[in-house]
Amino acid sequence: MASPSQKKSSDDGPVLRPHEYDGIQEFDQRLPNWWLFTLYSAILFGFGYWFYYFQSNIPTSDRAAIAHMIAVKEAKELEALKDLNDENLWKMSRNAQFVEAGRAVYMGTCKACHGDNLEGGIGFRLADDGWVHGSTPMQIFHNALNGIPGTGMAPQGGAQLGTQKITQAVAFILSKHDPKTMHDIPRDQEPTLKK
C-alpha cells in the first residue's frame, strides 16, 4: 500500500510507484521539459516534412517552375542568335520551349502530309534517321523553308510560315532524333515510297 512518502507530489521529487517485481521498484519520474520539447518538436517536424515532401506538390512544382524558367531563358537566348547553324538547331531541339512551339507549328501545318507521329504519308517519313534531301539540321531547315522543287513539298516559309515558325518546327522534328545517327539515304530507300 502507498506509504505517505509515495504520495509526494512530483514537485517534491520523484514518486516511487507502488508496484514491485522481483524486488525491482520504479520511480515515476517526470520527464524534463527540454526532453519533451525535443520529442514533440521531432514529431511536429516529422509531420511537416512528410506533408511538405510527400503530400503537397510545393517542392516538385518549384522544381518544374525553375526548369520552365531556365527553358524560357534559353529559348530567348537561342532566338536572339543571329546565325542559324546545325549546332544551334540541335540546341533548340533540346529546349522544351522551342519543341513545344514547334509541335504546334508541325501539328498545324506539316502533319497533314507527314503524319501525326512524323510517320509520313503524302510526304516523306520524318521519324527515321534516313533523309533523302539532306540529313543535317540546316538542310532540313532549308527543305522546310524553301520546299523541294518539283515535288509535293511546297515552300513552307514565306507567306505560309515565318522563319521563326519553321525553325521551331525543325526543332520539334530534331527533338525526335539523335545527332549521331542522322544520315542520308538514296531516294529509293525512303520507306513511304515503297509500295
| Residues near ligand HEC (CB under 6 A) | 109-110, 112-114, 122-124, 131-134, 140, 143-144, 148, 151-154, 156, 169
For the record, the C-alpha cell of 8 comes out as 509526494
Nearer to ligand HEC, 71 or 127 (CB): 127
Q: How far is the CB of 48 from ligand HEC (least distance, A)?
A: 51
Q: How far is the CB of 113 from ligand HEC (least distance, A)?
A: 3
Report CA-CA distances (Å) from 121 to 38, 191, 195. 69, 10, 12
For the chain, state the CA radius of gyration. Answer: 35
Q: Which helix (H) or strand (E) holds 131?
A: strand 130-131
Nearer to ligand HEC, 16 or 88 (CB): 88
Nearer to ligand HEC, 95 or 168 (CB): 168
Q: How far is the CB of 194 from ligand HEC (least distance, A)?
A: 13
Nearer to ligand HEC, 12 or 178 (CB): 178
Q: How far is the CB of 169 from ligand HEC (least distance, A)?
A: 4
SS3 168: helix
Q: Is 165:112 a contact under the CB 8 Å cutoff?
A: no
Q: How far is the CB of 96 from ligand HEC (least distance, A)?
A: 19
Look up cell 515552300; give the residue. 155
DSSP letters, 4-70, are GGGG--GGGSPEEEEEEETTEEEEEPPPPHHHHHHHHHHHHHHHHHHIIIII--HHHHHHHHHHHHH
Nearer to ligand HEC, 32 or 186 (CB): 186
Nearer to ligand HEC, 152 or 158 (CB): 152
Q: How far is the CB of 164 from ligand HEC (least distance, A)?
A: 12
Q: Taking the CB of residue 165, how many other CB atoms lie within 10 A of it?
A: 21
